[in-house]
């Protein structure tokens, strides 16, 4: 069972690791459209996690895995704010759902600070108290998506909780690539697809991984690639991060400015979504879903590690 499923990045990775979801849940209409568009056979439920009652969906009882790519809790700089923050309430709801569903394993993916920041200690204490009471043992760790072939510096805080008989068999996934994939390598082919003569030269200088993609708030304006520091990092790779383009550069692209804009499908490539994964909605809503997603290769690596542990006693 996958909650706060969003554009399906985590669910897709877990599917690639062999998990078959009995139910996916999200409270956003457009995210549910994305999930149904790509996997019509999946049972997708549009509702708030905090209102979900497993008694009304008995197929969720005793699943192997309950997964949650939750909205990001506040950064360590603002974590002392009111405990009623929606992101924290959703994380707590995902943990409490384990009481009803009783999965053999629980996977929560969120900000790196959730793993070790002092500001999140009360939240970790809540998680430990609730899950250890149910017979789970917990592993907290941080992964960088770049270590799994994703062309992006994207650190993710991860909690994996397993019922005691399986815990000693679990190991956090090890990196799957020896060298990080650069932005130029990831996007070079797409940059050239409309005949832009400067595509190869641009790709040759875009030698680093991308900064972390951020989808932004539902209350923000249009799509852009992030705050000022992130835009400066993009500018060093010849990318204007102030907005997204409707199409990749064509043969009439003026190379004099040295700056191009990315398209929404290119941001999906930076999250390592397959090219046949379609995201519903208009441009800003599509980018928001992509920016908030968990890259599928990370989900696959986590799923394989959990599956290996569950294959034990």
**Residue 191 is part of which domain span?**
183-290
Predicted local distance difference test score (pLDDT) of residue 80: 45
Q: Which pLDDT band, with edges at 50, 70 and 90, does 82 fall under?
A: very low
Both 229 and 152 in one domain: the answer is: no
165, 267: one domain: no
Q: Are 213 and 289 in contact (CB under 8 A)?
A: no
Q: Residue 240: is its pLDDT beyond 60?
A: yes
Res 76: pLDDT: 45
Q: State CA 208 to chain mean position distance.
A: 20
Q: Are 149 and 272 in contact (CB under 8 A)?
A: yes
Same domain, 203 and 105: no
- Both 56 and 204 in one domain: the answer is no
Contact 13, 300 (CB under 8 A): yes
Q: What's the total number of domains in the chain?
A: 2
Can you spell out the DSSP letters for 216-284?
Answer: --TTS-S--S-SHHHHHHHHTTTB-TTS-BSS---TT--TTS--B--BHHHHHHHTT--TT----SSHH
Is residue 33 domain-shared with residue 61, that is, in the same domain? yes
- Could you tell me which of 307, 296, 203, 194 has the C-alpha nearest to residue 253? 194
Judge if 199 and 143 occupy the same domain. Answer: no
Q: Are residues 196 and 170 in the same domain?
A: no
Give yes or no: residues 72 and 143 share one domain: yes
Q: Which residues pair with 158 in a beta bridge?
A: 109, 141
- Confidence band (pLDDT; 50, 70, 90) for 257? low
From the number of C-beta atoms within 10 Å of its C-beta (0-12, 13-18, 19+), residue 165 rates as: middle
pLDDT at 281 over 80: yes
Contacts of 141 (CB under 8 A, 6+ apart): 115, 158, 160, 172
Same domain? For 140 and 194 the reply is no
Note the pLDDT tens digit of each residue in 21-73. 999 999 999 999 999 999 999 999 999 999 999 999 999 998 999 999 998 88
Residues 194, 71 share a domain: no
- In terms of domains, do 168 and 208 share one? no
pTM: 0.94
Q: Are residues 76 and 168 in the same domain?
A: yes
Percent of the chain with pLDDT over 90: 87
- pLDDT tens for residues 154-198? 999 999 999 999 999 999 999 999 999 999 999 999 999 999 999
Give the C-alpha distances (Å, rounded to integers) separating 88 from 8, 66, 121, 122, 148: 21, 18, 13, 11, 28
Higher pLDDT, 227 or 313: 227
pLDDT at 217 over 80: no
Per-residue pLDDT tens digits for 118-132 = 999 999 999 999 999
Answer yes or no: is pLDDT of 93 > 80.
yes
Q: Is the pLDDT of residue 81 over 70?
A: no
How confident is the model at residue 220, as a pLDDT?
Answer: 63
Residue 83 has pLDDT above 70, yes or no: no
User: Is residue 78's pLDDT more than 60?
Assistant: no
Q: Write the CATH number for 122.
A: 3.40.50.150
């Amino acid at each position: 069972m996958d909650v706060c499923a969003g554009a399906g990045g985590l669910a897709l990775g877990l599917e690639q690791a062999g998990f078959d979801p009995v139910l996916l849940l999200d409270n956003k209409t457009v995210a549910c459209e994305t999930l149904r568009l790509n996997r019509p056979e999946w049972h997708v439920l549009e509702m708030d996690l905090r209102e979900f009652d497993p008694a009304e969906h008995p197929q969720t009882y005793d699943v192997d895995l309950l997964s949650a790519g939750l909205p990001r809790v506040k950064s360590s700089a603002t974590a002392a704010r009111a405990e009623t923050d929606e992101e924290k309430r959703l994380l707590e709801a995902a943990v409490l759902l384990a009481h009803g569903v009783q999965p053999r394993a629980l996977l929560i993916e969120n900000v790196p600070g959730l793993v070790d920041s002092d500001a999140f200690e009360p939240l970790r204490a809540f998680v430990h108290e609730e899950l250890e009471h149910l017979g789970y043992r917990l592993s907290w760790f941080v992964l960088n998506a770049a270590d799994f072939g994703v062309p992006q510096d994207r650190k993710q805080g991860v909690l994996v909780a397993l019922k005691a008989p399986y815990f000693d068999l679990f190991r956090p996934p090890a990196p799957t690539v020896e060298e990080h994939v650069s932005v130029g390598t990831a996007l070079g082919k797409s940059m050239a697809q409309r005949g832009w003569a400067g595509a190869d030269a641009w790709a040759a200088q875009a030698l680093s991984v991308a900064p972390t993609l951020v989808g932004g708030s539902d209350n923000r304006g249009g799509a852009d690639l992030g705050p000022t520091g992130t835009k400066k990092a993009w500018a060093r790779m010849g990318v204007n991060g102030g907005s997204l383009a409707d199409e990749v550069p064509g043969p009439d692209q003026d190379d004099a400015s040295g700056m191009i804009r990315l398209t929404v499908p290119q941001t999906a490539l930076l999250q390592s979504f397959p090219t046949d994964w379609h995201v519903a909605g208009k441009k800003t809503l599509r980018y928001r879903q992509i920016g908030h997603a968990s890259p599928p290769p990370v989900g696959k690596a986590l799923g394989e590690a959990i599956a290996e542990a569950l294959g034990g006693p």
